[in-house]
Amino acid sequence: MAADDRNAFEVYRDRVDRPLVRLFREYGAAEAHWLVIGMIANVIARIAGLLPPVVLGVAIDAVFTGDGPYSLPIVPDAWLPTTDPAQFQLSVVLILGAFVVTGVFTFIYGIAANNFAHRVMHAVRTDSFDLMQRLDMTFFDDKQTGEVMSVLNNDASNLEVFLDNALQNTARLGVMVLGIAGVLFYYNHELAVVTLSAIPLMFLFTLWFMRAVEPRYVEQRAIVGDLNTVLENALSGVELVKTSNTESHESERVETASRNYFERTMDILRLNYVYRPGMELLAGLAFAATFLVGGYWLAQGPPGPFTTELTVGTFVTFILLTQQFVAPLAEVSNIVDQYENAKASSERVFGLRDIPVRITDREDAVVLGGGDGHRGGRNGDRSSGNGDRGVDGEVVYDDVSFAYAENALVDPADADEVVVRNVSFAADPGDTVALVGPTGAGKSTLLKLLARLYDVTDGEIRVDGHDVRDVTVASLRSSIGYVSQDTTLFDGTIAENIRYGRFTGARVDADERPADDAVRDRVVEAAKAAEAHEFIDSLPNGYDTRIGERGVKLSGGQRQRVAIARVVLQDPAILVLDEATSAVDTETEMLIQRSLDRLAADRTTFVIAHRLSTVTDADTTLVLEDGEVVERGTHDELIEADGLYAKLWGVQAGEIEDLPEEFVERARARHVQRGVEGVVEGTVERETLDE
Ligand code: ADP
C-alpha cells in the first residue's frame, strides 16, 4: 500500500501549513522579549536617522536664506530660539544628538536581534535533533540522513539569517518608507507625490520578482537535500566505493547533483540580476524626477498644476531623504531571498517534526526488571553476584510475524513485505539460541524485533513475561547487549567508546555515576574480559588513545573487541551476537570467540551464526528460511534429521561439493526480487555458501 514514491520527509514537509507562523509560535515566543527590544531599538535608531536632513532643511531656510521660520515638526515653536546664532547652535546639537541616538540604539538593536535569532536557531537545531533521534528505524531505512543533516545545518542557519537580517531590514524598510513619506508630505505634499510616484512601481516590480523566484527556491532547497544525500552516501560507503572501483560513478553522481544545484541557483541569480538593478533604477528615477521638478520649481515657481511654495531648505531635505530611500529598498531582494529560504527551511524543520513516532513508551509502560535494566541492579556491581539482577532474560516469541513497511508513511499494519512468519520459540534465562539460514532468511530482523527497532506485525515477544511493547523502550534496550559484525565506534578515546551506553546517557543519574577512577577500573576489567586489554595497553596512549571517525585506525578484530568490552560493561541479561563473517586471523578469531563465550556464559544469548562450527554447543538452533523456522533442535538432532541444516553443515565441513540447485535458485530469486544492484552469478553462490 505505497502512498506515493516520495519519502516520509517530503510528504510531511508538504503538509506543513504556514511554517513561519509556527516558527514564531513554537520557538519565537520564548525569546520574544529579545525581538521586541530589537524592533523598538531599530525603529528609534531609524527615526533618529531621519532627523538630520529635516533639521538641515529648516536651518537653511531660517538661518541662511531667511525663507522660512525656525520650526520643527511636533516641537512647539515657543520652545525654539528666535535668534539666528542660537538657531544654528541648536541645529548642530540636534544633528549631533540624532547621530548619537542612532549609534546607541543601533548597538542595542544589534545585541537584541542577534540574541533572538541565535537563540531560536539553537532551539530549532537541538529540538530537531532530539526529535530525529526518536524516529523509528523505518525513517532511517529510507536513507534520509543527508536531508536530516541539511535540516540541522543549512535550515537552522537560514532561519537565523532570516530572523536576524530579514526581520530587522523589513522593520527598517517600513520605518524608512513610512517616515520619509510622512516627512515629505508634511513639508511639501505636491513634490512628495513626484518623489513617491516610484513606490507603486517598485511594489509591482517586487511582486513580480517574488512570484517568479518562489518556485525556484523550493526546487533549490530540495536539491540541496539530494546533494547532501549523495555526498553522505559516498563518504560513509567510501570503502565499498574504493573496492568496487566506482569512484568515477560516484563522481558522476556528485557532478549531476551539484550541477543541478548550480543550475537552480543560477536561475535564481538571473532573476536577481534583473531585480536589484531594476530597483536601483526606479529609485534613481525618483531621485532625478525630484531634482528636476524641484530645481525648476525653485527657479521659476510652481510648475504645471502645482501651487505651493518650495524653499531651498525643503528642497535639500527632499534630496537628502530621497537618497536615504535607495539603500533600504535595494535590500528588498535580499529580504525576499531570506524570507523564501526561511519559509522553505521552516517547512523542512516542521516536516521532520511532524513525522509520527510509532515506537514509544506506552503511557502505562513499566520498567523491565524494575531497576535500570542492567543485571547488576541499581548498584551495577557485577561482583555482587546475580542475587540482585533486575532482568532474568527469559525470552518468548509467540507466533511472531513481521513485514517491513515500504517507508515511514505506510502504517506498519498495512505493510505487505512479510519477512518473518509465525515464529514461535522460548529461551530460558541463560540459554543460547543459534539462528542459522541463508542470507535474507530473516535472522537479523527477528532479533531487531526483540529490541523493538521495529514492532511485530502479529503475535508478541515477551521478556520475563512482559510484552516488549508494555515496557519502557529504555529499560528494554539496556537489558539487551548487541555485538554486530559491523562495529560502530565513535570519534573519541577507547575508554569513552567502552563506557558508551553504560556511563553515558540520561539513564545514568549523576549521583549514581561512580567516581572516574572506579569507572576506569571497570573499563579495564571489561577490556580484559573482552581480550582487548593487551592491544589497548600497547597503544601510544593506552585507554586514552583517540580513534578516528568510525574507528578507522583500529583493525576489524580490534574494533570488535572494543565493542565486546562495551557490552561486558553494559552487563545485559540478554545478548545478541551477529557473528562476524569477515575473515580475521586465527589467533584473533580465537580471542574473540573466547571473549564471546565468556560474555555469553550466564546470559540469554542469540547468535546469528554464519559458520555452524561456532554454535554446535547452542541449546537450540533455529533454522530459518524465507522468514519461517523450518527446522529446530540441537546440533546433533539437526544432523540426525538430515535436512537443510545437515546440508549446510556438510557444505561448511567440506563434505558436499555444491548446494542443491533449487536452494541456489531460491537465493538468486530473492536477490533479484529485492533489486540488489550488481549481483553477479558468483556472488549469489558465494554468499549462500557462507551461510
Ligand atoms: P538475514 O539476517 O537472515 O540475512 P534479514 O533479516 O536481514 O535476513 O532480512 C530479511 C528480509 O528482509 C530480506 O528479504 C531483506 O531484504 C528484508 N529487509 C531487511 N531489512 C530491511 C529493511 N530495513 N527494509 C525493508 N526490507 C528489509
Ligand 1 and 440: CB distance under 6 A? yes
Residue 560 has pLDDT above 90, yes or no: no
- The grid coordinates of residue 493 equal 578515546
Ligand 1 and 610: CB distance under 6 A? no
Most confidently predicted of 40-54, 483-497, 574-588: 40-54
Could you list the beta-strand ranges (E) of 517-636: 546-547, 574-578, 604-608, 620-625, 628-633
Q: What is the pLDDT of residue 583?
A: 55
Ligand 1 and 674: CB distance under 6 A? yes
* Range with the poorest average pLDDT among 59-68, 389-398, 646-655, 663-672: 663-672
Ligand 1 and 141: CB distance under 6 A? yes
Torsion from C-alpha of 100, 102, 107, 112, nearest 10 degrees: 140
Question: Is 359 within 8 Å of 172 (Cβ atoms)?
Answer: no
Helix segments in 188-311, DSSP class H: 189-196, 198-236, 238-243, 247-300
Ligand 1 and 445: CB distance under 6 A? yes
Residue 111 has pLDDT above 90, yes or no: yes
What are the angstrom distances between the C-alpha of 435 and each of 324, 596, 687? 77, 16, 16
Q: How far is the CA of 422 from the centre of ligand 1 (A)?
A: 16
Confidence category of residue 185, pLDDT binned at 50, 70, 90 = very high
Ligand 1 and 175: CB distance under 6 A? no
Please give the full DSSP string across 161-220, using - where no structure is assigned.
HIIIIIHHHHHHHHHHHHHHHHHHHHH-HHHHHHHHTHHHHHHHHHHHHHHHHHHHHHHH
Task: Name the class of domain 7-353.
Answer: mainly alpha
Of 211 and 580, the structure prediction assigns the larger pLDDT to 211
SS3 462: strand
Torsion from C-alpha of 433, 439, 443, 444, nearest 10 degrees: 120
> Distance (Å, rounded) from C-alpha 59 to C-alpha 70?
7
> Distance (Å, rounded) from C-alpha 523 to C-alpha 517?
10
Residue 332 has pLDDT above 90, yes or no: no
Ligand 1 and 42: CB distance under 6 A? no
Torsion from C-alpha of 199, 203, 206, 211, nearest 10 degrees: -170
Question: Is 346 within 8 Å of 160 (Cβ atoms)?
Answer: no
Domain boundary assignment for the chain: 7-353, 395-657
Ligand 1 and 25: CB distance under 6 A? no
Confidence category of residue 101, pLDDT binned at 50, 70, 90 = very high
- Quick one: which atom of ligand 1 is closest to the CA of 446? 6
Q: How far is the CA of 234 from the centre of ligand 1 (A)?
A: 22
Residue 513 has pLDDT above 50, yes or no: yes
- Quick one: which atom of ligand 1 is closest to the CA of 439? 4
What are the angstrom distances between the C-alpha of 6 and each of 3, 128, 142? 8, 21, 10
- The grid coordinates of residue 688 equal 549462500
Mean pLDDT over 175-198 rounds to 92
Q: Estimate to the nearest angstrom the gap between the alpha carbon of 44 and the chain centroid.
A: 38
Q: 644-684: per-residue pLDDT in tens?
A: 888 888 887 765 445 556 655 655 555 444 443 333 333 33
Question: Is 332 within 8 Å of 279 (Cβ atoms)?
Answer: yes
Question: Is 622 within 8 Å of 433 (Cβ atoms)?
Answer: yes
Confidence category of residue 372, pLDDT binned at 50, 70, 90 = very low
> Distance (Å, rounded) from C-alpha 643 to C-alpha 646?
5
Mean pLDDT over 387-395 rounds to 72
Nearest Cα residue to atom 10 of ligand 1: 442
Question: Is 187 within 8 Å of 317 (Cβ atoms)?
Answer: yes
Q: What is the pLDDT of residue 462?
A: 92
The dihedral built from the CA positions of residue 642, 645, 649 and 655, taken in this order, carries a sign that is positive
Q: 587-625: per-residue pLDDT in tens?
A: 777 777 777 888 788 889 998 887 787 788 889 999 998
Residue 258 has pLDDT above 80, yes or no: yes
Q: How far is the CA of 674 from the centre of ligand 1 (A)?
A: 9
Q: 78-98: per-residue pLDDT in tens?
A: 888 888 899 999 999 999 999
Identify the helix (H) or strand (E) that includes residue 419. strand 417-427
Ligand 1 and 419: CB distance under 6 A? yes
Q: 123-149: per-residue pLDDT in tens?
A: 999 988 888 888 877 777 766 677 777
- The grid coordinates of residue 34 equal 529579545
Closest CA to 42 of 97, 94, 107, 114: 107
Q: How far is the CA of 441 from the centre of ligand 1 (A)?
A: 8
Q: How far is the CA of 629 from the centre of ligand 1 (A)?
A: 15
**What pTM did the predictor assign?**
0.72
- Quick one: which atom of ligand 1 is closest to the CA of 141? 23
Mutate to test the pocket of ligand 1, among 140, 404, 421 (most ligand atoms within 8 A of CB): 404
Q: What is the pLDDT of residue 233?
A: 81
Q: How far is the CA of 440 from the centre of ligand 1 (A)?
A: 5
Task: Name 309's Cβ contacts closer than 8 Å, sequence gap at least 6.
Answer: 302
* Range with the poorest average pLDDT among 446-450, 525-529, 598-602, 657-661: 657-661
Mutate to test the pocket of ligand 1, among 406, 435, 445 (most ligand atoms within 8 A of CB): 445
- Quick one: which atom of ligand 1 is closest to the CA of 420? 10
Phi/psi at 463 (5° precision)? -115, 125
Ligand 1 and 443: CB distance under 6 A? yes
pLDDT above 90: percentage of residues in the chain = 25
The hierarchical CATH code for the domain 395-657 is 3.40.50.300
Residue 5 has pLDDT above 70, yes or no: no
Ligand 1 and 412: CB distance under 6 A? no
> Distance (Å, rounded) from C-alpha 538 to C-alpha 267?
58
**Burial class for 318, CB neighbours closer than 10 Å (0-12, 13-18, 19+):** buried
SS3 483: strand
Ligand 1 and 444: CB distance under 6 A? yes
Q: What is the pLDDT of residue 658?
A: 53
Nearest Cα residue to atom 21 of ligand 1: 404
Question: Is 442 within 8 Å of 420 (Cβ atoms)?
Answer: yes
Q: 246-257: per-residue pLDDT in tens?
A: 888 889 999 999
Scan for cell 581480550, then name that residue: 531
How big is the CA angle at 448 (ends 444 and 453), to the nearest 5 degrees? 145
Q: How far is the CA of 403 from the centre of ligand 1 (A)?
A: 10
Residue 271 has pLDDT above 60, yes or no: yes
Q: Average pLDDT of the chain?
A: 82
DSSP state of 477: H
Ligand 1 and 275: CB distance under 6 A? no
Residue 514 has pLDDT above 80, yes or no: no
Q: How far is the CA of 132 from the centre of ligand 1 (A)?
A: 23
Residue 413 has pLDDT above 90, yes or no: no
Nearest Cα residue to atom 12 of ligand 1: 419
pLDDT above 70: percentage of residues in the chain = 85
**Burial class for 661, CB neighbours closer than 10 Å (0-12, 13-18, 19+):** exposed
- Quick one: which atom of ligand 1 is closest to the CA of 624? 3
Q: 634-643: per-residue pLDDT in tens?
A: 888 888 888 8
Scan for cell 525663507, then name that residue: 67
Pairing of strands 574-578, 604-608: parallel
Helix segments in 67-155, DSSP class H: 84-134, 137-141, 145-150
Phi/psi at 417 (5° precision)? -90, 75
Q: How far is the CA of 358 from the centre of ligand 1 (A)?
A: 20
Mutate to test the pocket of ligand 1, among 419, 443, 677 (most ligand atoms within 8 A of CB): 419
What are the angstrom distances between the C-alpha of 259 and each of 223, 227, 245, 256, 344? 10, 10, 23, 5, 21
User: How many residues does the structure list for the chain?
Assistant: 691
Q: How far is the CA of 627 from the centre of ligand 1 (A)?
A: 9
- The grid coordinates of residue 60 equal 537653511
Q: What is the pLDDT of residue 681?
A: 36
Residue 410 has pLDDT above 80, yes or no: no
Nearest Cα residue to atom 11 of ligand 1: 440
* Range with the poorest average pLDDT among 60-64, 137-141, 157-161: 137-141
Q: What is the pLDDT of residue 571?
A: 85
Give 461's strand partners: 397
Q: 189-226: per-residue pLDDT in tens?
A: 999 999 999 888 988 998 898 889 888 887 887 788 78
- Quick one: which atom of ligand 1 is closest to the CA of 442? 6
Question: Is 109 within 8 Å of 169 (Cβ atoms)?
Answer: no
Q: What is the pLDDT of residue 344?
A: 84
